[in-house]
């Protein structure tokens, strides 16, 4: 029988106080895993802890900047002390800056690369030795459709997520022999509180132009929900995916497969 259980596993989901990270951690908890998460500020960690408690999940939250190697090493040590060795890592923490490339400062570009690409490198590097020692593990990198496509104003984000796709494949290549599977999830356009203004109806009852654009570009004809990512994440975190490695699973309603509708 296929085993999707995460019973007895310890999962670290970075930046999981809310949003996609919170949805994935919740799914892992429902599948039996113990949950650890971090965020960059104590107030965000506290907010996350309250949200997990509402769901009946006894999560452990820690303040940690994923771009700081010493903080990440301390985070991993604290999780091992509190919960045990990390079996599942989800590199979810990330930012986006929507700025036209020629207006973007190099320091802004570097900040996005640092959090979205260097962060997953640093955290993965910190957990892999323990995974090797304990006979294997699962690493899931939150990639993006921008791992494959370009778009206006997201040069740094696309560069980082394209790099993260290749880091995913390289971790799989380098550590697959130790029973470590490293895969990515590439979310499509997900309905979150942050994107709510883009989905509000206009005064005349019509769709927001961006909302109409996304729905027209998506064969599923809707935005995704954070819950749409839960099943794929549990699959990649469980023994059901033990021979899946270096793969990016796009959960996008079919956008990447579709050229789009012909203009009327």
231 three-state secondary structure: helix
d(CA 212, CA 185): 25
Query: Which of these is catalytic: 52, 62, 157, 175?
Result: 157
Residue 112's alpha-carbon distances to 86, 213, 231, in angstroms, are 26, 26, 28
Taking the C-alpha atoms of residue 182 and residue 167, their distance in angstroms, rounded to an integer, is 9
| Nearest Cα residue to 225 out of 24, 14, 51 | 24
Answer yes or no: 157 catalytic: yes
Strands 60-63 and 34-39: parallel
* Alpha-carbon radius of gyration of the chain: 18
DSSP-based three-state secondary structure for 30: helix
Q: Which residues carry out catalysis? A: 157
């Amino acid at each position: 029988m296929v085993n999707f259980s995460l019973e007895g596993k310890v999962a670290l989901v970075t930046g999981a106080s809310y949003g996609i990270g919170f949805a994935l951690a919740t799914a892992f908890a429902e599948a039996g895993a113990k949950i650890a998460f971090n965020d960059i500020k104590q107030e965000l960690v506290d907010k996350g802890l309250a949200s997990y408690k509402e769901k009946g999940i006894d999560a452990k939250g820690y303040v940690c900047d994923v771009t700081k190697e010493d903080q990440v090493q301390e985070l991993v040590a604290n999780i091992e002390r509190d919960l045990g060795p990390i079996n599942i890592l989800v590199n979810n923490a990330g930012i986006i800056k929507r700025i036209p490339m020629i207006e973007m400062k190099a320091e802004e570009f570097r900040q996005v690369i640092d959090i979205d690409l260097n962060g997953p490198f640093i955290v993965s590097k910190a957990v892999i030795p323990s995974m090797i020692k304990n006979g294997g593990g699962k690493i899931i990198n939150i990639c993006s459709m921008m791992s494959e496509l370009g778009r206006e104003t997201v040069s740094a984000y696309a560069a980082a997520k394209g790099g993260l796709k290749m880091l995913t494949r390289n971790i799989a290549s380098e550590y697959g022999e130790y029973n470590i599977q490293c895969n990515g999830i590439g979310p499509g356009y997900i309905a979150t509180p942050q994107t709510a203004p883009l989905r509000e109806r206009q005064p005349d009852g019509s769709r927001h132009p961006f909302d109409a654009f996304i729905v027209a570009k998506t064969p599923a004809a809707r935005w995704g929900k954070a819950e749409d990512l839960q099943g794929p994440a549990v699959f990649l975190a469980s023994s059901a995916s033990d021979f899946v490695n270096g793969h990016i699973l796009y959960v996008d309603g079919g956008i990447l497969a579709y050229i789009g509708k012909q203009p009327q």
